[in-house]
């Protein structure tokens, strides 16, 4: 019985270690701004409030996307999205790649993030 319990505990710990190793790192925007080369082309997670957003979505066409600015209390960063953009005031968590000098459709947004996935806070 003790061997079975030990094996189950070992298996659970191994699964937890593999699961956490695959998750991207959550960082503050201040950390990104202080050392952008550390996060360049790395997948990370940030969370905060949408302060500004600009987007285009034309129904019936594949044209959509835009940019929005997130504030996490330590700073702000522009996020480039190929899907719809959230509205101002939305609580959001975003996973994506950090890019220095993000350009989108001819406009330069400086230090920014390319969105891969997002989660909205449920009210």
Query: What average pLDDT does this structure show over 84-99?
Result: 92
Candidate from 28-37, 44-53, 85-94, 100-109 with smallest mean pLDDT = 100-109
Domain count, the chain: 1
| CATH code, domain with 113 | 2.40.50.140
Q: What is the model's pLDDT at position 103?
A: 65
Classified as helix, coil or strand, 23 is coil
Is residue 41 included in any domain, yes or no? yes
Q: Is the pTM of this model over 0.75?
A: no
Beta-bridge partner residues of 24: none
61-89 core/surface letters (b: 16 or more CB in 10 A; e: else): eeeebbbbbbebeebebbbbbeeebbeee
Residue 106 DSSP code: T
Is residue 46 included in any domain, yes or no? yes
Is residue 19 included in any domain, yes or no? no
The residues, any chain, with a CB within 8 Å of residue 101's CB and separated by 6 or more, are: 108, 110, 111
Domain that holds residue 107: 25-120
- 11-58 pLDDT, tens digit per residue, is 555 454 444 445 667 899 999 888 888 888 889 999 999 999 999 888
């Amino acid at each position: 019985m003790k061997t079975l319990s030990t094996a189950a505990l070992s298996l659970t710990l191994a699964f937890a270690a593999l699961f956490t190793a695959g998750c991207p790192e959550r960082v503050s925007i201040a950390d990104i701004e202080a050392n952008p080369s550390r996060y360049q082309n790395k997948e990370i997670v940030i969370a905060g409030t949408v302060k500004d957003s600009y987007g285009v979505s034309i129904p019936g066409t594949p044209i959509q996307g835009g940019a929005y600015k997130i504030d996490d209390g330590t700073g702000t960063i522009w996020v480039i999205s190929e899907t719809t953009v959230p509205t101002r005031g939305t609580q959001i968590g975003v996973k994506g790649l950090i890019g220095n000098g993000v350009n989108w459709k001819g406009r330069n947004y400086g230090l920014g993030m390319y969105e891969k996935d997002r989660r909205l806070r449920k009210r």
